[in-house]
Structure 1
Amino acid sequence: MTNVRVESAVYMKKDVIRKVITIIRGVKEPEKIVLFGSRVQGGAVGTSDIDIAVFGKEWSSRDLNIAKHRLEHEVCTPLKFDLLNFYELKSSRLKKNILTSGRVLYESGQDERAVC
């Protein structure tokens, strides 16, 4: 059983969320995957990108690029993905936004929960 936790009010289909989690975990196991930005805050329009923060101390830029490439080629959506490593962020404002407004899609060690 996979450890998946998705909180309510994310503006993405359940199957897309699960595919995103599977692809990212397939590159390298993260501590946490967090959706942030307009897809969470409710300001998303049809062409808004999908902002994802990966919490992975062992994640390199190469890992992020591989995950982004796979997401953009394997997830059935015309949307672009903006993938970043939380631990490499310089902006304390962006970090705070992710921590306070982001929605946890996956967290290592947590029980599986239904996608709302």
Structure 2
Amino acid sequence: MPLDATLFISQKDTVLSVNLSKQIVEKILSCKKPEKIVLFGSRATGNEKKTSDIDIAIFGKQWTDRDINMVRHHLEEKIKTPLKFDVINFYSIAKDELKNNILSQGVILYESKTH
């Protein structure tokens, strides 16, 4: 992990293990470095079901749709879990309600110190 980064392990009750959280961050960083990685949705709030997907918001101003799709594919190929990943670029979200939900209820998994 780069020295200019902070890895956050949530104190909230999430179903994601520390190991899985680290794997997610490492796999994303191996593709392209974002400003921040945030877990959101039911797995961040503790309302998940056994089959709930893993919702990840990437804060990447220079990220394209292709970058997001590459990360999603990389996560699903490299991480051994039956769960699906839903990866979005925070800056591409049109709905203010979703943005506010991510900001207020999301769990920061990673944040670059240089952004």
Could you state the TM-score of these two structures normalised by the residue count of structure 1? 0.90
Give the SS at the match of 1:44: coil
The residue identity in structure 2 corresponding to 1:43 is N
Measured after TM superposition, the shift of residue 109 of structure 1 is 1.3
Measured after TM superposition, the shift of residue 103 of structure 1 is 0.5
In structure 1, C-alpha distance between the alignment counterparts of 2:72 and 2:31, rounded to whole Å: 10
For residue 5 of structure 1, the aligned residue among 8, 11, 22 is 8
Measured after TM superposition, the shift of residue 10 of structure 1 is 2.1
Measured after TM superposition, the shift of residue 27 of structure 1 is 1.1
Measured after TM superposition, the shift of residue 50 of structure 1 is 0.2
In structure 2, C-alpha distance between the alignment counterparts of 1:25 and 1:60, rounded to whole Å: 15
In structure 1, C-alpha distance between the alignment counterparts of 2:65 and 2:85, rounded to whole Å: 15
Q: Which range moves more in the overlay, 52-61 or 5-14? A: 5-14
Q: Unpaired segments of 5 or more residues in structure 2? A: none
Give the SS at the match of 1:48: coil
Contact in 2 for aligned 1:16/1:76 (Cα 8 Å): no
Write the mapping of 1:21-100 to structure 2, written as runs, cut at 5 A: 21-100=25-104
Q: Give the total of aligned pairs.
A: 110
In structure 2, C-alpha distance between the alignment counterparts of 1:76 and 1:15, rounded to whole Å: 11
The residue identity in structure 2 corresponding to 1:23 is K
Across the aligned residues of Structure 1 and Structure 2, the Cα RMSD in angstroms comes to 1.3
What's the counterpart of residue 105 of structure 1? Answer: 109
Q: Unpaired segments of 5 or more residues in structure 1? A: 111-116
Q: Which has the higher contact order (CA 8 A, sep 6+)?
A: 1
What's the counterpart of residue 19 of structure 2? Answer: 15
Runs of 4+ in 1 over 4 A off after TM superposition: none
**Percentage of pairs with the same residue:** 45
Could you state the TM-score of these two structures normalised by the residue count of structure 2? 0.91
Contact in 2 for aligned 1:36/1:98 (Cα 8 Å): yes
